Each structure stands twice: as structure tokens, then as C-alpha cells.
Structure 1
Amino acid sequence: MKALLLAVLLMPACASAGSLIAQRTLPAGTIIMPTDVAATAEGDGLPDNISQVVGQQLRVIVYEGRRIEASFLTAPTAINRNQMVTLAYEKSALRIEAEGRALSAGSVGQVIRVMNTASRVTVSGRIAPNGTVVVEQF
């Protein structure tokens, strides 16, 4: 038994080009957790490492036991459509903040359109990691 375990541990890493499968049915929009996926030795599909998919969001439904393709994944949505957000304009030591309503959904780093609720002006800004939308002067 120890010899079998030792043989398995000493196998080359390149021999196990596998894929990831869903442990349960995962609806579209699910943020993948480590317990949601399992690695298999079968297949040549990407991704093949659990750390590559944990924290990603599914674009489509994946049924239990089915393979998770790279095209099924996207960056997690940070701001949803119609969500109230903080607009921020920064220049040197000046920072102006206002409340706005997101006109589209987006993830961190994407540019979305936001309507300032006070003035009803529509502006574009980049989503910051803290959830604010930073308006840049173009």
C-alpha cells in the first residue's frame, strides 16, 4: 500500500492534464467556490487548476458532473444595473463625490455609464475595487 502511494506521488505532473467538473448544479451568475469544483484526470480542457476558477463568475448554467470550460467564466460583477453607486472625481488634492445610478452592470476595471441622481447628467467612469465609480476627465 505504501509503495502504491509512493508511486502515485512520484508520477510526473505533466501526466495529469485534466479538467474541472462541477460538484453540483451551478446556476449562471454563481461565484465559484473551492467546494463547487473537482479536478479530474480525464480530458484536455482548460482550465485544469482549481485556483484558476475560484472567485470567477459563471456566465451559463453548469450541471453536476459537467466540465467547466474557460468560456463559461467571467470576472465577478461588482456593480449591477440600476444599483446606487458613489461617483468620484479626483484631480490632485480635489475629490468630489456624488450619488449616482448605474446604467449597466460591470466588473472591477470596466468603464460603465452612470447617471448622477442630483443633476441627471450621464457620465462614464471606471469601477474601482471598493465599488465606487471614478470619473476621469478625457
Structure 2
Amino acid sequence: MRLFAVALILAFGTPSLAEILVPARAIRAKEIIGAQDLVPKSADVPGAVSHADEVIGKEARVALYPGRPIRFSDIGPPAVVDRNDVVSLIFNRGGLTIIAEGRAMGRGATGEIIRVMNLTSRSTVTGRIRSDGSIEVH
């Protein structure tokens, strides 16, 4: 087995290390990542983030620890709506527009679908989060 590994190294050379980004400090979940929070590291980690523009301004979905690689599944767009926020529900069909207040049952970023409870009727609906924090009901 050892001879096989040596033969592979001689045939293909030593594996080259790529530059990835790792946290410079512990980053808690739901925290926005800034340029000062990242440092480069030479390592070969498939699926790890390697460009700062892919991370800066994103929100950590899980806790990120110093020196450990950041994967794309660990980050996402910043949330616009938090759980229990009072939001505007907008229902728009044809020429009819209905606006009501609702309470967010989950947390999400622009474009995500969440459940919201209508405060008047107490019924639960689903809708897509708009950039202004209102919910477009389906």
C-alpha cells in the first residue's frame, strides 16, 4: 500500500494546496460577516469558500470557528424578517389588493417562503418575503 502511495506521488506530484478563507474569530449564527472577520489559509478543502466576495455581507447560519473552513451551506443572505415580527401581508390578484397585519412564524431572507399568522383571523398562510419585509401571500 505504501509503495502504491509513493508511486502515485511520483506519477502525479504532490497535491497542491488552494487558498481558502477561514474565520479570524468566532462568528455566531445570525451574525453578518465582514472583511475583518476573514483570513486566508492554504488548504485543500473541497466545497470551502475561497473568495471574499462570496462571504462578505452574508449571514452565518451556524457558528463559525477560527481556522475552520467556511462552506457555502454555512452562510446565506441576511434575514429581513425575524420570528414573531409583525409584518404586512399583501394579497394581490387581478385588480384586488388586500393588506393585513400578520405575525411571522419563522425567520427568512428576501425571496424565501415562510408561514405567517394573520392577526385578525388567526389563520396561518404562507408567503414570499419581499425586500421591504412585507409578505406577498400566495
Normalised by the size of structure 1, how large is the TM-score?
A: 0.77
- Percent identity of equivalent pairs: 36
Aligned alpha-carbon RMSD (Å)? 1.9
Q: Match for 1:30: what amino acid?
A: E
Find runs of 4+ consecutive structure 1 residues off by over 6 angstroms. none
Which secondary structure does the structure 1 equivalent of 2:53 belong to? Answer: helix
Q: Match for 1:33: what amino acid?
A: G
Q: Match for 2:27: what amino acid?
A: L
Q: Match for 1:28: what amino acid?
A: A
Which secondary structure does the structure 1 equivalent of 2:122 belong to? Answer: coil
Q: Which structure is higher in strand share?
A: 2
Which secondary structure does the structure 1 equivalent of 2:109 belong to? Answer: coil
Shift of 1:109: 1.3
Normalised by the size of structure 2, how large is the TM-score?
A: 0.77
Equivalent residue runs for 1:1-138 within 5 Å: 17-45=18-46, 46-136=48-138
Distance 1:70 1:120 in 2: 37
Distance 1:30 1:78 in 2: 13
Q: Match for 2:57: what amino acid?
A: G
CA contact (8 A) 1:39 1:49 kept: no
Which secondary structure does the structure 2 equivalent of 1:124 belong to? Answer: strand
Distance 2:82 2:112 in 1: 12
Q: Match for 2:96: what amino acid?
A: L
* Count of aligned positions: 122
Distance 1:134 1:39 in 2: 41
- 5+ long unaligned stretches in structure 2: 1-15
Distance 1:74 1:16 in 2: 26
